[in-house]
Amino acid sequence: MHFYKDYVYPYLVDTLGDPPPIRKIRQQIIPQAQGKVLEIGVGSGANFIHYDSTKVSKLYALEPNPGMIRLAERQQRKTKLNIEFIDLPGERIPLGDGVIDTVVSTFTLCTIPGIADAIQGIARVMKPNGRFIFFELGLSPDATVQRWQKRLEPMYHWLFQGLYLTRDIPALLRAGGFQIEQMQAGYIASFPKSSTYSWWGIASVDSHHDRDVMM
């Protein structure tokens, strides 16, 4: 199992995880990151080449898989980014409160086990005017596709090391204290629809969230 997780799975993600439709969206959203940036679940570093190094002062790259870090280090050499790798999962962000200008997550919230803890951690480290750039797979609005997602989820969960096909990421973000400023959604490939419905956009911490919960 460790061999698959540390060697086969990173190769699989690196080979299959950045087809042209996904790369096109990365090119649209990642250059918006600026200041001190935290990317959770950097994987093989597919986002690195899309950051604007003139706007990013430092990139904290959170990734618990050593095989992924090896691949991401190769991508780092193609950029001028100041990157610090942190080999911890997204539920354990070892940064202070309110220190990050931009948090980035691409295909991480749909895989991370403790998603509520991860969302709380993201909100904690963000500055009050910080932005959260996200690109995630999840639950289709189409009932027929949902049925296939539920059937296939156990297989995808194993094959892609924890991938959930049935998470409603925007709803989870709102429940975790975020407001979504802009978002697009749709199938990023015509087939299979069960594993290609995605959302991408920008969110910020909702300053009224705690008050609303208390009321």
Domain ranges, ordered by start, for the chain: 2-214
pLDDT 10s per residue in the chain (215 long)? 566 555 565 656 666 667 889 999 999 999 999 999 999 999 999 999 999 999 999 999 999 988 889 999 999 999 999 999 999 888 889 999 999 999 999 999 999 989 999 999 999 999 999 999 999 999 999 999 999 999 999 998 887 768 899 999 999 999 999 999 999 999 998 778 999 999 999 999 987 765 343 32
Element (H, E) at 205: strand 197-205
CA nearest neighbour of 47 among 33, 57, 35: 33
- Host H or E run for residue 9: helix 9-16
Tell me how far apart the alpha carbons of residues 50 and 94 are, in angstroms, rounded to a whole number: 25
Is pTM beyond 0.75? Reply is yes
- Please state which CATH number belongs to domain 2-214: 3.40.50.150
